[in-house]
Structure 1
């Protein structure tokens, strides 16, 4: 938890600067990371990376397989009411969020995890999941997560730093978080959709110009 709070403070500090240093030199990252970024963008997700040496950067096990067009995420789960954090190293983005959460909050959960999350097991019907909007400046705001959606579907239009982090809380504690409305979430989705379309048409126009140039040679 102390590591997570440190990262949160560092990220807020970075976002507050005019010059965003999260990704400032693509040459710093191996090709496999660039593939991951491209695979995420293809799915409508804006993926950013921290500087090399940061804990969150070095522990990111997310991968993108170009041949099978498969993206697997590292997923982090914060349970603030129990002050514990769990993570999954490799989750297919076609998996429903609820199916992954069931690892920690279901009848099949191990006794060790069940004991650590007893506050949640006492109120399973009131469990709610949130995810922070990573680029909202110094004041954190949160999406309400529809756990019936797949990771791929829910993350459309979102900005992710390294990998998704979900906050698991209870309904009675939602007032502790500044929530993003459904209308704002839809607007972000539409903005990302327009970016993807613009990028597609720009690439298409560039390819056409290159073909025209080759035919003139």
Structure 2
């Protein structure tokens, strides 16, 4: 029989060296991510806390081919398999399937959008994974031919930037805004009495002194614009000619101006921006851009103004002044005399010849 001798544990782990945290005990573990050698669980936790290391190996870290082993090869193969499964799962997820709005709507939403369009309201829906779409409870009552809107009421306060929010899930389009807000402003109702502390200023002012503002959608800078609503009109008539995303958001303020950070916008401006067209030109601009009638006589062109003489350079002016200093005469007499002298000179030359 052969004798077996037990190798001390210190010799088995001597290849890792001492612990890099406490530097007193021989190391037993190596971190898969940062490769720090530790000896116990306490040192492992210290190294994770100080180096902010999660202990998971970086599977995308570069490694040269000379250092790759079978273990690294299988790890890369499994990583690629996980990426493929994740991509296939995203393709089958119905929430991520389409990125375009208004595409393949369910039948109830399709009928609701058409009913809103008949009333002059452009209703748009968000994708199924958005929280605003999930919490929307607006529906069309098919028998009554009536739309019951979900309305978000925001009561604006002067001393606070955060408004008080209420969400009502069944607001008939045939009711006026005054009737819909009665439960919040009339103290005899339980809802108004329970929120007396936060709605005190609005209840004191009354519906006649309150201003209602609808948040604009589908226009440029929609987050900073709104337009006024009439409390004596029905909800359906107030939403006519406007764009609504999922459900309307209405601000209630006891000041006769838009809430802080918002500016008023007219429905006509919204229609122009939604259609992507420029406003009609004025009469003065149309007179210039309209084509002339061929039957009418053409107007004579305006006479062109004569070109102004160019200014002479300072160097030329200096030359003229220098010529004047030598007594050069530019008069017609001097020019005629000079020409006669030239003719006499030419005659004399002919005689000599």
TM, length-normalised to structure 1:
0.68
Q: Give the equivalent residue in structure 2 for 1:164.
A: 248
8 Å Cα contact 1:156-1:189 kept in structure 2: no
Residue in structure 1 matched with residue 235 of structure 2 by the alignment: 151
Measured after TM superposition, the shift of residue 72 of structure 1 is 0.8
Structure 1 residue 156 displacement after superposition: 0.8
CA shift for structure 1 position 191: 10
Which of 89, 100, 103 in structure 2 is aligned with 1:26? 103
CA distance in 2, matches of 1:22, 1:131: 28
Using CA pairs under 8 Å that are at least 6 residues apart, name the structure with larger relative contact order, 1 or 2.
1
TM-score by length of 2: 0.43
- Contact 1:142–1:178 under 8 Å retained in 2: yes
CA contact (8 A) 2:211 2:256 kept: no
Task: State which structure, 1 or 2, has the greater radius of gyration over its C-alpha atoms.
Answer: 2
User: What is the 5 A alignment of 1:1-217?
Assistant: 24-27=101-104, 29-81=105-157, 83-110=163-190, 111-124=193-206, 126-139=209-222, 140-171=224-255, 174=258, 176=260, 177-180=262-265, 184-185=266-267
Deviation per CA, 1:20-67: give whole Å up to 9, x if none.
x9952522x321111111111111100001111211111111111334
The structure with the greater share of residues assigned to helix is: 1
Of residues 75-84 and 34-43 in structure 1, the stretch that sits farther from structure 2 once superposed is: 75-84
Structure 2, gaps ≥5 residues long = 1-97, 275-353
SS state of the match for residue 103, structure 1?
A: helix
Deviation of 1:115 (Å): 2.0
Q: For this pair of structures, how many residues does the alignment match?
A: 168
Larger CA deviation: 135-144 vs 57-66: 135-144
Q: Distance in 2 between matches of 1:161 and 1:22?
A: 16
| Shift in CA distance, 129/33, structure 1 to aligned 2, threshold 3 Å | same
Partner SS, residue 251 of structure 2:
strand
Gaps of at least 5 residues in structure 1 are: 1-20, 193-217
Specify the SS of the correspondent of 1:52: coil
- After superposition, give the CA deviation of every residue in 1:136-190 in whole Å (9 maximum; x if it has no partner): 222522111101000111111010011111011121653733112xxx3256579
CA RMSD of aligned residues (A): 2.7
Q: Specify which structure has the higher proportion of strand.
A: 1
Alignment check: 8 A CA contact 1:157 1:190 kept: no
